């Protein structure tokens, strides 16, 4: 289905493993309505599709916008989707491989639908509306349950030979280190994602290192989260400061590798873990200074995401804008 070139509004959709969010914006990125629902990723693709459709329709109702006014829908989806809009692989979704996401959504909404990897989508969102405005090249990392990446070179999204580029979380930063979900050992994701951070804090706590974290978590690992670790680190807790410093060290190495390989204008770090503040960012930047080639490092800004949780939604809007521009 073709874009409605006379439409005034665009819908951006961020499909996550837990929640799906949608927003209606004009072509300048101003939001008029939004909605959020559970993705129901464990219930199969039909349930996921129904949730996405419901969320889009609620966002339209919130903004008092009709289908005839919509130019198109841009979606960020974890994993890989081929040129025909079929999901070939996606983490945290049950039986999603082979699902015709674009076709199903387009038919259900009667609108043109575009889909891209979720972090690629966030990267183009930051490039157009966020921290990356005005640069020609950037790398984006998101720190959370996993570690994702997106790359923009010469103002164009770099997808790779079969849409598999920017798997920054799976560059090895510590050979022989913690095992990763991909099967390798010592990947950046294995060393710095959510569970790795919690495990490091728990080991220190169980080894007897004093910490205010222990009392709040009641010495139970399943009660520890990066957000709680960050909060105690901000209060000066040594265990939590050490845990975040180690995390920042590994992320700094990963960023330095990106700088050495691509020589970008900017590296943007997003995701919930990136909001940990100086206890994470100071060791992160030390790692960048230690491992990045100076001539490339001094021209590269390393910054936090400006759009935050909205990067994916705004990136969905950009997917449609870029398709309009190509047309």
Helix axis angle for 194-206 and 238-262, nearest 10°, is 150
Q: Which residue has the higher pLDDT, 161 or 108?
A: 108
Neighbours of 95 (CB within 10 A): 12
**The predicted structure's pLDDT at residue 134:** 96
| pLDDT digits 0-9 by tens, 81-136 | 998 999 998 888 999 999 999 999 999 999 999 999 999 999 999 999 999 999 99
**Quick one: DSSP state of residue 180?**
P
The b-or-e profile of 225-263 (16+ CB within 10 A means b, else e) is ebebbbbbbeeebebbbbbbbbbbbbbbbbbbbbbeebb
Q: What is the mean pLDDT of residues 16-44?
A: 96
User: With bands split at pLDDT 50, 70 and 90, how would you rate the model's confidence at 221?
Assistant: confident
What's the burial of 158, exposed, middle or buried (CB within 10 Å: 0-12/13-18/19+)? middle
Query: Cβ neighbours of residue 288 under 8 Å, at least 6 residues apart?
Result: 252, 255, 256, 259, 297, 302
Report how far residue 25's alpha carbon sits from residue 278's, in angstroms, rounded to the nearest whole number: 34
Nearest to 268 by CA among 86, 56, 124, 106: 124
**The predicted structure's pLDDT at residue 15:** 96
Place of tokens 């903004």: 63
Query: Cβ neighbours of residue 30 under 8 Å, at least 6 residues apart?
Result: none
User: With bands split at pLDDT 50, 70 and 90, how would you rate the model's confidence at 177?
Assistant: very high
Are 193 and 252 within 8 A, CB to CB? no
Q: What is the mean pLDDT of residues 246-261?
A: 98
Task: Answer whether residue 219 shows pLDDT above 80.
Answer: no
Q: What is the mean pLDDT of residues 257-285?
A: 97
Q: Do domains 9-125+310-326 and 133-306 have the same CATH topology?
A: yes
- Residue 37: phi and psi, rounded to 5, are -145, 165
Q: Are strands 31-38 and 87-89 parallel, antiparallel or unpaired?
A: unpaired
Nearest to 179 by CA among 164, 193, 166: 193
**Quick one: DSSP state of residue 174?**
S
Nearest to 314 by CA among 63, 32, 75, 35: 75
pTM tops 0.85:
yes
Q: What is the mean pLDDT of residues 43-56?
A: 97
Q: Where are the domains of the chain?
A: 9-125+310-326, 133-306
| pLDDT digits 0-9 by tens, 130-154 | 999 999 999 999 999 899 999 999 9
Domain at 133-306, CATH homologous superfamily: ATPase, nucleotide binding domain (3.30.420.40)
Task: Answer whether residue 264 shows pLDDT above 90.
Answer: yes
**Quick one: DSSP state of residue 223?**
G
Assigned fold of 9-125+310-326: Nucleotidyltransferase; domain 5 (3.30.420)
Task: Answer whether residue 68 shows pLDDT above 90.
Answer: yes
Q: What is the mean pLDDT of residues 197-212?
A: 93
On average, the pLDDT of the chain sits at 95
């Amino acid at each position: 289905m073709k874009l409605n070139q006379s439409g005034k509004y665009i819908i951006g959709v961020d499909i996550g493993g837990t929640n799906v969010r949608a927003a209606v914006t004009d072509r300048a990125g101003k939001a008029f309505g939004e909605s959020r629902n559970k993705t129901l990723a464990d219930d199969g693709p039909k349930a996921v599709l129904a949730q996405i459709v419901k969320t889009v329709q609620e966002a339209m109702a919130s903004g008092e916008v009709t289908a005839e006014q919509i130019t198109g829908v841009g979606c960020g989806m974890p994993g890989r989707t081929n040129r025909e809009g079929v999901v070939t692989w996606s983490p945290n979704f049950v039986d999603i491989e082979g699902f015709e996401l674009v076709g199903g959504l387009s038919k259900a909404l009667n609108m043109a639908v575009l889909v891209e990897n979720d972090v690629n989508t966030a990267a183009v969102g930051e490039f157009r509306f966020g921290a990356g405005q005005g640069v020609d090249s950037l790398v984006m990392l998101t720190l959370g349950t996993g570690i994702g990446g997106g790359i923009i070179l010469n103002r164009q999204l770099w997808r790779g030979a079969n849409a598999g580029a920017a798997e920054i979380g799976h560059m090895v930063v510590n050979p022989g280190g913690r095992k990763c979900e991909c099967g390798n050992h010592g990947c950046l994701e294995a060393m710095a994602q959510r569970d790795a951070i919690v495990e490091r804090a728990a080991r220190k706590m169980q080894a007897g290192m004093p910490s205010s974290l222990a009392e709040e978590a009641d010495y139970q690992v399943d009660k520890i989260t990066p957000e709680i670790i960050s909060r105690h680190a901000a209060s000066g807790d040594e265990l939590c400061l050490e845990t975040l410093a180690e995390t920042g060290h590994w992320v700094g190495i990963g960023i330095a590798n990106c700088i050495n390989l691509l020589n970008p204008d900017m590296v943007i770090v997003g995701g919930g873990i990136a909001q940990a503040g100086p206890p994470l960012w100071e060791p992160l930047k030390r790692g960048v200074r230690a491992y990045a080639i100076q001539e490339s490092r001094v021209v590269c800004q390393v910054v936090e995401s400006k759009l935050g949780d909205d990067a994916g939604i705004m990136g969905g809007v950009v997917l449609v804008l870029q398709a309009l521009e190509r047309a």
